[in-house]
Amino acid sequence: MKKLLLTLSLLPTLCFANTVDLMADKIEAKVIQWRHHLHEHPELSNREFETAAYIAKHLRSLGLEVQTGVAITGVVAILDSGKPGPVVGLRADIDGLPVLENNDLPWKSQAKGEYNGKEVPVMHACGHDTHIAMLMGAAEILVEMKDQLRGKVKFIFQPAEEGAPIGEEGGAELMVKEGVLKNPDVDAIFGLHISSSADVNTVLYREGGVMAAVDPFKIVIKGKQAHGAYPWLSVDPIVTAAQMIMNIQTIVSREVQLLDDAAVVTFGAINGGVRSNIIPDKVELVGTIRTLNNTARDHIYEAMPRKVKGVADSMRAEAELTLPFGGSYPVTFNDHDLTATMLPTLNKTAGEDNVIYSKPVTGAEDFSFFQEQVPGIYLWVGGKPLDVDPKDAPAHHTPDFYVDDDGMKLGVRLLTNMTIDYMNQH
């Protein structure tokens, strides 16, 4: 009897899943068409004007209440079932990158844009075109199923995930600041990212830290200029910089508990000096810190000024640390309870054999700003064709980046099923 009751209790969920599957099959061709259009016409961060108009037109065609100009170019729409229940947020990022596409596709990008005052090629080199198309598809299905929903769905199409232009605000942080998670207040938020290295029809998940916090930094070392033949007359900022770089690396290798707290400190640029026989008076260093939990992040924030000052003092130089320097993202952190609650939905949607527990990555995602405010889950959805070896799959943010159209239907189904199941459970 107990087994029978359990089976009966799952019937509504199974019926919803079957309906979603049929509808995802029905609109797959449209989702692919949307993706191809968006891929051919990418736009850079905070400049996604045509992209936003394309999204808004589709959402209005579904009869949704649509708001544009959110965080400059974002689009938000609300689906109200008319029945009491939770508010579920669904997010897709919409910006492209300053990358020249190297793929031979009928819908290859030829777009140009302006980045830091220069004309650059633009490409959806991280799959945001697929994210938009998948969320547009989920919106269409959820509108069709409105009578079976409880509560509200807030569709969030977010600009500038790749970072706002210099001197501008943008992305999820600005959306949160402008109140995107309020009125109505979002109870839980779901997002996903296509993966060029994971097989089509697979979904990768983990609880806790899934993507790293990112904290750029800048160090300016000031010394005393002298002729290169007489170094004793100088306070050498170049030698000081060399000492500082090596010393800072010991924060991770000797101070962070790497068994629990994976972390990275990378120097990306060194600028100083003009010729071989002049010791300059100044050197600038810039780099990035990546951490997967707040314990490691807090420790590095404490250690960086200590190391910078200690080395500078020992070399008779002055040093100024700016941390963070520019955009800083918190850890993309999947809520433990919410992840456990939604795991059966992932298994039901993708098939248990296709649901893969993944390792965290040291890339960063500003979806983390939403997760700081409300419980959220961020997933990876496979986009690699099955006949491509993972080691041959082109990486994200490269000219050869490619993901298969076949990967999007699972994303549509996941967004839809997670919304429905969360509503039914709350």
Q: What is the pLDDT of residues 224-253, one digit of tens each?
A: 999 999 999 999 999 999 999 999 999 999
Q: Where are the beta strands (DSSP E) in 152-250?
A: 152-158, 188-199, 203-205, 208-211, 213-222, 226-227
The pLDDT of residue 38 is 98
Check whether 16 has a pLDDT greater than 60.
Answer: yes
Interhelix angle for 336-350 vs 408-425, to 10°?
130
Check whether 48 has a pLDDT greater than 70.
Answer: yes
User: What does the alpha-carbon distance between residue 358 and residue 360 come to, in Å, rounded to a whole number?
Assistant: 6
Q: What is the pLDDT of residues 318-339, one digit of tens each?
A: 999 999 998 899 999 999 999 9
Check whether 8 has a pLDDT greater than 60.
Answer: no
Where on the phi/psi map is residue 151: left (φ > 0), alpha (ψ -120 to 50), or beta?
A: left
Pairing mode of beta strands 118-121, 112-115 = antiparallel
Q: Which phi and psi (to 5°) does residue 380 adopt?
A: -105, 130
Over residues 78-95, mean pLDDT? 98
Q: What is the pLDDT of residues 367-381, one digit of tens each?
A: 999 999 999 999 999
Over residues 199-209, mean pLDDT? 97
Residues 6+ apart with CB under 8 A from 16: 145, 148, 417, 420, 421, 424
Place of tokens 């990306």: 268
Which DSSP string do the residues of 44-88 spell out, in sequence order?
Answer: -TT--HHHHHHHHHHHHHTT-EEEEEETTTEEEEEEE-SS---EE
Asked if omega into 280 is within 30° of 0 (cis), the reply is no
Q: Which helix (H) or strand (E) holds 8?
A: helix 2-40
Contact (CB, 8 A) for 24 and 141:
yes
Q: In the structure, what pLDDT confidence band is assigned to residue 12 with cuts at 50, 70 and 90?
A: low
Closest CA to 408 of 141, 242, 123, 195: 195
pTM of model > 0.75? yes
Which DSSP string do the residues of 363-423 spell out, in sequence order?
Answer: ---TTHHHHHHS-EEEEEEEEE-TTS-GGGSPPTTSTT----GGGHHHHHHHHHHHHHHHH
Q: Where are the beta strands (DSSP E) in 185-313?
A: 188-199, 203-205, 208-211, 213-222, 226-227, 263-271, 278-279, 282-291
Residue count (the chain): 426
User: What does the alpha-carbon distance between residue 56 and residue 41 come to, in Å, rounded to a whole number?
Assistant: 16
Q: What is the pLDDT of residues 144-173, one digit of tens each?
A: 999 999 999 999 999 999 999 988 999 999
User: What does the alpha-carbon distance between residue 96 and residue 94 come to, in Å, rounded to a whole number?
Assistant: 7
CA angle, 323 then 324 then 328, to 5°: 160
Check whether 9 has a pLDDT greater than 80.
Answer: no
Q: Which CATH number fits domain 213-322: 3.30.56.10, 3.40.50.300, 3.50.50.60, 3.30.70.360?
A: 3.30.70.360
User: What does the alpha-carbon distance between residue 117 and residue 114 come to, in Å, rounded to a whole number?
Assistant: 6
Place of tokens 């007489």: 230
Per residue in 395-408, is it b (16+ CB within 10 Å) or e — as a string?
A: ebebeebbbbbebb
Check whether 4 has a pLDDT greater than 70.
Answer: no
Active site residues: 95, 161
Domain ranges of the chain: 2-212+331-425, 213-322
User: What does the alpha-carbon distance between residue 295 and residue 85 come to, in Å, rounded to a whole number?
Assistant: 36
The pLDDT of residue 166 is 85
User: What does the alpha-carbon distance between residue 229 and residue 364 come to, in Å, rounded to a whole number?
Assistant: 45
Q: In the numeric block, which tokens belong to residue 125?
A: 């080199």
The pLDDT of residue 7 is 47
Cβ neighbourhood burial of 313 (10 Å; 0-12, 13-18, 19+): exposed
What's the whole-number average pLDDT of the chain? 95
3-state DSSP call for residue 181? coil
Check whether 84 has a pLDDT greater than 90.
Answer: yes
What is the CATH topology of the domain spanning 2-212+331-425?
Answer: Aminopeptidase (3.40.630)
Q: In the structure, what pLDDT confidence band is assigned to residue 14 with cuts at 50, 70 and 90?
A: low
The pLDDT of residue 219 is 98
3-state DSSP call for residue 101? coil
Q: In the numeric block, which tokens belong to residue 276?
A: 């071989």
The pLDDT of residue 221 is 98
What percent of the chain has a predicted confidence (pLDDT) above 70?
96
Contact (CB, 8 A) for 346 and 203:
yes
Check whether 416 has a pLDDT greater than 50.
Answer: yes
User: What does the alpha-carbon distance between residue 35 and residue 128 come to, in Å, rounded to a whole number?
Assistant: 9
Q: What is the pLDDT of residues 107-132, one digit of tens each?
A: 999 999 999 899 999 999 999 999 99
The pLDDT of residue 201 is 98
Q: What is the pLDDT of residues 240-296, one digit of tens each?
A: 999 999 999 999 999 999 887 789 999 999 999 999 999 999 999 999 999 999 999
User: What does the alpha-carbon distance between residue 87 and residue 189 come to, in Å, rounded to a whole number?
Assistant: 9
